[in-house]
Amino acid sequence: NAGVTQTPKFRVLKTGQSMTLLCAQDMNHEYMYWYRQDPGMGLRLIHYSVGEGTTAKGEVPDGYNVSRLKKQNFLLGLESAAPSQTSVYFCASYGGYNQPQHFGDGTRLSIL
């Protein structure tokens, strides 16, 4: 049982480039989330989804887009990367009913 899997684990981009981060979960969870974590800080919610085909903005959504075409996958896109988006990105899923949230191992993204 893999849980939550994030790809890639590391990536270096140049300013203005675009990329997509993939999150996959195999627990049939309805809810999925993308967070970013900057040095010395807690996790901040970027976007989330309450089910297939739905997305919603979190605390820091600017500069990011998301899609949830399949229940098991949640994609985070950066259309034009900026140095301020250098961060560690975590994906999580949640099954509801007061269960815990499950996290992936993170994607370390550097934008030069």
Partner 1 sequence: DAKTTQPPSMDCAEGRAANLPCNHSTISGNEYVYWYRQIHSQGPQYIIHGLKNNETNEMASLIITEDRKSSTLILPHATLRDTAVYYCIVRVGNQFYFGTGTSLTVIP
Report which DSSP code applies to 80.
S
Please state, in angstroms and as integers, the Cα–Cα distance from residue 105 to each residue in 6, 8, 17, 30, following that order.
Answer: 7, 10, 24, 20
Of residues 42, 62, 69, 97, which one binds partner 1 by CB under 8 A? 42
Report which DSSP code applies to 18.
-
38 binds partner 1 (CB under 8 A): no
43 binds partner 1 (CB under 8 A): yes
Of residues 1, 28, 41, 62, which one binds partner 1 by CB under 8 A? 41
For partner 1, the closer of residues 37 and 67 by Cβ is: 37
For Cα atoms 47, 82, 33, give the angle at the middle one, nearest 5 degrees.
Answer: 15
Q: State the Cα–Cα distance between residues 110 and 87, nearest whole angstrom.
A: 7
Please state the closest distance from residue 33 (CB atom) to partner 1, in A: 8
Q: State the Cα–Cα distance between residues 51 and 38, nearest whole angstrom.
A: 27
For partner 1, the closer of residues 1 and 42 by Cβ is: 42
Residues lying near partner 1 in the complex (CB under 8 A): 4, 31, 33, 35, 37, 40-45, 48, 50, 58, 88, 90, 92, 94, 96, 98, 100-106
